[in-house]
C-alpha cells in the first residue's frame, strides 16, 4: 500500500509523511509468497478443555491459571471463576476499558466494575491465528499468568484441545477501501481490502522503529497458524532505562512493584545492545520485537472485531495498544466494516 486512503483520525500530512518513511524501510523478512489454507467455511471450537498456569503478570508471587473450554456461544469469552455472580466478558471492542497507564496493555471489562481482565492481548490475539472461532476462557483472577516463552504455553495448550467444526458459517468482514488512523508520534495503522478476492486472506505489513538496539524492523506475512506458532515465543520488549525505572522510582507504584517481568520473560534492549538474548533472528538480525508487535499485540486489537473475522491487508508503523484499539473503534464509529461477500 502506498496511499493511506480515507483518514478516519489523525493529521493528513503527518500520516502521509510516516507512510513514506515506512515504505522507505527495507523489509527484513518477506513471507508474502507463503501459501496458506483457504478461508474456513464453518465455525470451530475446541474438542477438549486444557489448562495452563504461571506466575501472575501484575502479582508475580501468585500462581494464576487459564482454562480453555469449548462453547456454543459465538466468539471468545473471558469468565472470572473467582467472581461467580458475574457474566463472562465478550472479547470485543465495546468491552475495552483501558489500554493501561504505567504498563501498556489491553484491559477488558463488562458489567460489574470488578469484572475485568488485564493484559488480555497475548491471549486474545490467538483468535486470529489459531483457527478457533468460539472459546470460553476460564480465569481465576483479573491478572493472567505471564510466561517465559511469550504465548507459546497457550499455543501448546491448544494443541492438547484439538478442534471441532460445527455447522454455523464463519462471517468474514473487510473494508471497501483503505482507511487509516494516525497518532501523535508518527504512528499509524491502515486497513485495506484483500487484493485477491478469489483467495482472500489476512496479510500484515508491520514495522517498528525504536531508539534502542531494537532499531528499525519490518516484516510482511500472511496470518496463519504456522507463523502464529513461530511468533508466539516473542516477548514484550522494554528499554534498559525503563527497567531501571521499575527497579527504583517504579517501586512506588503497586502495579510495577509487583510486576512479574524479569530477564527471562521480557526482552530488554539498551541503547546499543540487548541486555538479554533476543529471539527470532532472520539472516542474523533479531526480529523478536516486530513479531511480538504484529502477532501478539496488533492482532489482539483486530480480534476485538466481534461481528466477524477481518480479512484484508493491515499496514502498521510504530503503533501501540492505544492506537490499535482506536482503529477498531473508528471502524465501528464510521460504519466502514462490510461483509466480505459485498466485494465479490
pLDDT tens digits along 72-85: 999 999 999 999 99
CA distances from 35 to 81, 170, 206, 267 (A): 40, 21, 19, 30
* Mean pLDDT across 222-251: 88
Question: What DSSP element (H or E) covers 208?
Answer: strand 202-209
Where does the pLDDT of residue 267 fall: very low under 50, low under 70, confident under 90, or very high at 90 and above?
very high
Q: How far apart are CA 273 and CA 275, in angstroms?
A: 6
> Is residue 17 located within the same domain as residue 122?
no
- The residue out of 133, 153, 169 marking a domain boundary is 169
Q: How far apart are CA 46 and CA 207, in angstroms?
A: 33
> Is position 132 within any domain?
yes
> Is residue 103 located within the same domain as residue 199?
no
Give the domain extent around 94.
42-169
Whichever domain contains 148, its CATH number is: 3.30.230.20
Specify whether the CB–CB gap between 120 and 103 falls below 8 A: no
Where does the pLDDT of residue 344 fall: very low under 50, low under 70, confident under 90, or very high at 90 and above?
confident
> Is position 244 within any domain?
no
Mean pLDDT lowest among 106-120, 229-243, 248-262, 292-306: 248-262
> Is residue 73 located within the same domain as residue 98?
yes
* Mean pLDDT across 8-25: 97
Specify whether the CB–CB gap between 9 and 182 falls below 8 A: yes
> Is residue 153 located within the same domain as residue 178?
no
Cell readout for 34 is 507463503
pLDDT tens digits, 109-136: 999 999 999 999 999 999 999 999 999 9
User: Which has the closest alpha carbon to 185: 206, 204, 205, 210?
Assistant: 210
> Is residue 84 located within the same domain as residue 22?
no
* Mean pLDDT across 214-235: 98
Q: What is the pLDDT of residue 233?
A: 98
> Is residue 31 located within the same domain as residue 65?
no
> Is residue 145 located within the same domain as residue 198?
no
> Is position 148 within any domain?
yes
Q: What is the pLDDT of residue 2?
A: 86
Whichever domain contains 298, its CATH number is: 3.30.1700.10
Q: What is 131-178 written as a DSSP string? A: ----EEEEESSSS-B--TTTTHHHHHHHHHH-EEEEEEEPPEEEESS-
Q: What is the pLDDT of residue 259?
A: 83
- The residue out of 169, 200, 222 marking a domain boundary is 169
* Mean pLDDT across 34-57: 96
> Is residue 292 located within the same domain as residue 218?
yes
251 pLDDT higher than 90 = no
Q: What pTM was computed for the model?
A: 0.96
Q: What is the pLDDT of residue 243?
A: 76
> Is position 253 within any domain?
no
Q: What is the pLDDT of residue 42?
A: 98
Domain total for the chain? Answer: 2
> Is residue 164 located within the same domain as residue 223?
no
Specify whether the CB–CB gap between 304 and 329 falls below 8 A: no
Query: SS3 for 338?
Result: strand
> Is residue 157 located within the same domain as residue 304?
no
> Is residue 229 located within the same domain as residue 147?
no
Q: What is the pLDDT of residue 314?
A: 98
- The residue out of 147, 169, 191 marking a domain boundary is 169
Amino acid at each position: 500500500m502506498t496511499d493511506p486512503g480515507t483518514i478516519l483520525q489523525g493529521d493528513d500530512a503527518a500520516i502521509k509523511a510516516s507512510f513514506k518513511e515506512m515504505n522507505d524501510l527495507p523489509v527484513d523478512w518477506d513471507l508474502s509468497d507463503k501459501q496458506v489454507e483457504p478461508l474456513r467455511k464453518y465455525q470451530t471450537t475446541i474438542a477438549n478443555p486444557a489448562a495452563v498456569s504461571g506466575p501472575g503478570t501484575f502479582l508475580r508471587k501468585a500462581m494464576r491459571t487459564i482454562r480453555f473450554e469449548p462453547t456454543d456461544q459465538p466468539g471468545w469469552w473471558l469468565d472470572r471463576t473467582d467472581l461467580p455472580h458475574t457474566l463472562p466478558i465478550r472479547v470485543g471492542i465495546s468491552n475495552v476499558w483501558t489500554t493501561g497507564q504505567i504498563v501498556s496493555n489491553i484491559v477488558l471489562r463488562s458489567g460489574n466494575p470488578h469484572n475485568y481482565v488485564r493484559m488480555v492481548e497475548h491471549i486474545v490475539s490467538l483468535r486470529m491465528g489459531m483457527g478457533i472461532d468460539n472459546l470460553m476462557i476460564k480465569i481465576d483472577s483479573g491478572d493472567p499468568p505471564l510466561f517465559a516463552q511469550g504465548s507459546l504455553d497457550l499455543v501448546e495448550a491448544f494443541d492438547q484441545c484439538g478442534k471441532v467444526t460445527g455447522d454455523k458459517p464463519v462471517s468474514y468482514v473487510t473494508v471497501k477501501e483503505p482507511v487509516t488512523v494516525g497518532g501523535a508520534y508518527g504512528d499509524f495503522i491502515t486497513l485495506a481490502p484483500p487484493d485477491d478476492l478469489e483467495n482472500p486472506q489476512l496479510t500484515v505489513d508491520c514495522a517498528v522503529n525504536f531508539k534502542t538496539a531494537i532499531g528499525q524492523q519490518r516484516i510482511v506475512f500472511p496470518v496463519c497458524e504456522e507463523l502464529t506458532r513461530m511468533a508466539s515465543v516473542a516477548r514484550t520488549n522494554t528499554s534498559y532505562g525503563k527497567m531501571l525505572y521499575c527497579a527504583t522510582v517504579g517501586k512506588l507504584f503497586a502495579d510495577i512493584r509487583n510486576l512479574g517481568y524479569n530477564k527471562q520473560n521480557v526482552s530488554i534492549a539498551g541503547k546499543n545492545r540487548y541486555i538479554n538474548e533476543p529471539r527470532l533472528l532472520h539472516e542474523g538480525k533479531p526480529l523478536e520485537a516486530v513479531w511480538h508487535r504484529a502477532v501478539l499485540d496488533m492482532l489482539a486489537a483486530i480480534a476485538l472485531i466481534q461481528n466477524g473475522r477481518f480479512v484484508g491487508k493491515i499496514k502498521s508503523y510504530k503503533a501501540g495498544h492505544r492506537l490499535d484499539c482506536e482503529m477498531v473503534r473508528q471502524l465501528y464509529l464510521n460504519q466502514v466494516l462490510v461483509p466480505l461477500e459485498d466485494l465479490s
